[in-house]
Amino acid sequence: MLNQQKYLVNLTIPAPLNPDFQPAALLNRRYLVSATEPLVIALEGEAGRITRFKTAVRPTPDDETLRYIERTVKFLLWARGGWRLYLGGPAAACKRIRVRKFDTEMMSTSYGKKFETIVTTPAKVPANKEIQIPAVGHLKGNRIGFDLGASDYKVSAVIDGNVVFTEEMPWDPKTQSNPEYHYHHISSALHRAAAHLPRVDAIGGSSAGIIVNNEIRAASLLRAIPKKLHPQAAGVFKRIAKEWGVPLVVMNDGDVTALAGALSLGKKGMLGIAMGSSEAAGFINKDGRILGWLNELAFAPVDYNPDAAKDEWSGDRGIGSLYFSQQAVNKLLPAARIKIPKEMGLPERLKEVQALMAKGDSRAARIYETIGVYLGYSIPHYAAFYDFENVLILGRVTTGKGGDIVVEKARQVLRADFPALAARIRLHVPDEKSRRIGQAVAAASLPSLKK
């Protein structure tokens, strides 16, 4: 058991409903002051893709060093993805690092290879070999875009970049064991959108989960699907593409969030964060490229408090899904002293909080203030792994007055504890309509048209 007492840090701006919040950014910053030995971490993904991360550690495997390496590896696994992990640094510490079973199994599922770890020296860690996909939105033609979340899905019909139809519908994919449920909802939504177009030239999709080559490799949307039926469920997008006979491209919802920001703001170096049923993230670098990273920050740690809330799926504590999503709102209800019927689902619980917020309820305001503090201390942590100057924040949690509180509180934290970053990084919030449907519209721009 690690001695956690020495890890505690005081926050300049504390989280109102979570006084024990221990931001990774502050603890890592304090640790790195005494780190002198180079550590190079690399991950190998699909088609030989290699992504590297350089940092430093203390030469001896003390508790803080082991925690720093393990949490950094965890973050990189879910930010960048890969089936082979290289640890190039002090052997005494690196050999003691164990990746969690949930993480290794998910990486193996995502990349189709057994997960493995190689401990070596910094000089022997393979060189970078990143995938670079131009983040160019295609707006011409008659397009349909859809966005699949865990509690609702959205569809838009777009003609030459102009939205002519949008729809948002509830669904419950996480509990459905029949892949036809997923297919039926997506297919029927596409047909409803198509009724508003003279023809359909292309279809683009945004979906929660790990998407590779238009296949769902891992996603909470398919959690109830039996293993023997998973190939059928994973191939739903290819089935739809064959039926419609038009170009179809589906990407992770986080990357589509970043694309939406790049298109609407005309900026690059963009980290997109969507606070919906879970946390989705995406990244476009300063050259306007998507790098093929996972960007599944829902599983990336942001709170090092050993008693932080535990994620029911992964079993880990302090990860993003419990800080930037409907789950975060639900987690904070008891501390806010807001009572909501137990039978209510997360979307309905969020609506109750939003209704209270609209009435000026101070308890609801403290929920959003707390999420804003989370965000303010997590953006610097994200900045250690991503090179960005713009952050786009959207999703159902940011709808209404509460979203404005989240952003303003995050800015306060940055100005107070990270003034250099506050001067360089800009937080952007789309208009109210775009907060809810922007991903579906951006998704419509993914496919290029057949020549």
Rounded CA-CA distance 397/354 in Å is: 9
pLDDT reading at 437 higher than 50? no
- List the structure tokens of 75: 């973050």
* pLDDT recorded at residue 431: 67
Q: What is the mean pLDDT of the chain?
A: 92
Per the rule left: phi > 0, alpha: psi between -120 and 50, beta: everything else, 415 is: alpha
- DSSP symbol at 221: G
pLDDT reading at 432 higher than 60? no
168 strand-pairing partners: 154
* pLDDT recorded at residue 451: 58
Using the Cα atoms of residue 90, residue 92, residue 93 and residue 98 in order, give the sign of their dihedral: positive
pLDDT reading at 137 higher than 80? no
Instruction: Compute, in degrees rounded to 10, the torsion defined by CA atoms 209, 210, 216, 219.
Output: -40
Per the rule left: phi > 0, alpha: psi between -120 and 50, beta: everything else, 360 is: left
State mean pLDDT over 154-175: 92
pLDDT in tens, 380-396: 999 999 999 999 998 88
> How many other β-carbons are positioned within 10 Å of the β-carbon of residue 4?
14
Rounded CA-CA distance 21/225 in Å is: 35
Rounded CA-CA distance 275/281 in Å is: 9
Rounded CA-CA distance 14/26 in Å is: 13
Q: Which of 124-138, 182-196, 406-420 has the lowest mean pLDDT?
A: 124-138
* pLDDT recorded at residue 266: 81
Using a 10 angstrom Cβ sphere, with 0-12 exposed, 13-18 middle and 19 or more buried, the burial of residue 161 is middle
- Note the CATH architecture for domain 256-440: 2-Layer Sandwich (3.30)
Between residues 305 and 449, the one the model is more confident about:
305
Domain span(s) for CATH 3.30.420.40 in the chain: 140-252, 256-440
Out of 3.30.420.40, 3.30.950.10, 3.40.50.300, 3.40.190.10, select the CATH number for domain 140-252: 3.30.420.40
Q: How confident is the model at residue 436 (pLDDT cuts 50, 70, 90)?
A: very low
Between residues 439 and 434, the one the model is more confident about:
439
CB 397 within 8 Å of CB 325: yes
State mean pLDDT over 398-411: 95
pLDDT in tens, 360-375: 999 999 999 999 999 9
Alpha helix segments (H runs only) across 33-129 = 63-79, 91-94, 101-111
